[in-house]
């Protein structure tokens, strides 16, 4: 077959894309590109969460996983941490391992969360024990500290010092505690006495507690956490009012 015949045959078989097909292809490519950028952005830079902070009800806030080690859940890989958690940081902590989902379920979850603005998840990946994989907590004790709980408030003895200091006297950040109260006095029966014995923190160990101390004295709450459990660091709340942490 001559070159002229081949060219003629190709010309006759060619059908240019119509306006509708061009528009659909453009939309699909645009959505795919935005989806990929969204996955990279939330894995490495910023993430949005909501929580009831004691001084900000129904708060929505921005956290970053960058310093704590970005995690790509689709391939179950986490990058090394770039900076140790600091005393007073508000962080998202992995308190319960999520369910072990296959790769296709993780992919579907990523898609459904993206297109529903995190309102729907096709396959549940929350912890089967704790009900939620991540919890909002504050870094109180760091490696080398000795810590104890007295009436739901943390007393800290830094390494090399002899005296225990109240958390507010040591942490140079403002935050509000939500304590169990009955009338004008701390209710020591809700849910526990509000006291716990001394914990010594070794390398890579931290004391992390929520600002809501109603369950802080339980055996599950008063425990040592590992550095690798810190997933993200909260930067600021943007609703109902702007507040930096």
Please give the pLDDT value at position 112: 77
pLDDT in tens, 24-60: 888 888 888 888 888 888 888 888 888 878 888 788 8
* In the predicted structure, residue 227 carries a pLDDT above the cut 80: yes
Which phi-psi region, left, alpha or beta, contains residue 48 (left: φ > 0; alpha: ψ -120 to 50)? Answer: beta
Question: Where do the structural domains in the chain lie, given as residue ranges?
Answer: 18-95+133-239
pLDDT in tens, 82-128: 899 999 999 999 876 666 777 677 777 777 777 776 666 777 765 44
Task: Please report which confidence band the pLDDT of residue 3 belongs to, taking 50, 70 and 90 as the band edges.
Answer: low
Q: Which residue has the higher pLDDT, 141 or 125?
A: 141
Q: Which residue has the higher pLDDT, 6 or 236?
A: 236
Read off the pTM: 0.76
Is-cis flag, bond preceding 240, omega within 30? yes
Structure tokens at 38: 């969204």
The conformation of residue 178, written as its DSSP 8-state character, comes to B
CB 135 within 8 A of CB 210: yes
Q: How far is CA 167 from the centre of its chain?
A: 23
In this prediction, residues 185-205 reach a mean pLDDT of 74
Location of structure tokens 């408030």: 153
């Amino acid at each position: 077959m001559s070159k002229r015949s081949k060219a003629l045959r190709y010309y006759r078989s060619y059908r240019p894309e119509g306006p509708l097909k061009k528009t659909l292809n453009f939309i699909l490519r645009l959505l795919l590109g935005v989806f990929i950028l969204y996955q990279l952005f939330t894995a490495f830079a910023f993430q949005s969460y909501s929580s009831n902070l004691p001084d900000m009800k129904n708060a929505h806030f921005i956290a970053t996983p960058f310093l704590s080690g970005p995690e790509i859940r689709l391939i179950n890989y986490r990058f090394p941490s770039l900076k140790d958690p600091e005393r007073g940081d508000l962080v998202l902590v992995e308190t319960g391992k999520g369910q072990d989902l296959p790769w296709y379920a993780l992919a579907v979850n990523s898609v459904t969360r993206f297109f529903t603005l995190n309102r729907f998840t096709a396959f549940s990946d929350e912890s089967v024990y704790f009900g939620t994989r991540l919890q909002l907590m504050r870094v109180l004790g760091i490696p080398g500290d000795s810590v104890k709980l007295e009436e739901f408030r943390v007393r800290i003895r830094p390494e090399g010092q002899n005296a225990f200091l109240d958390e507010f006297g040591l942490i140079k950040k403002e935050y509000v505690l939500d304590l169990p109260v009955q009338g004008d006095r701390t209710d020591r029966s809700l849910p526990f006495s509000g006291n716990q014995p001394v914990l010594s923190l070794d390398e890579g160990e931290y004391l992390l507690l929520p600002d809501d101390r109603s369950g802080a004295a339980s055996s599950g709450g008063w425990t040592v956490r590992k550095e690798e459990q810190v997933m993200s660091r909260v930067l600021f709340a943007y609703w109902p009012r702007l507040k930096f942490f």
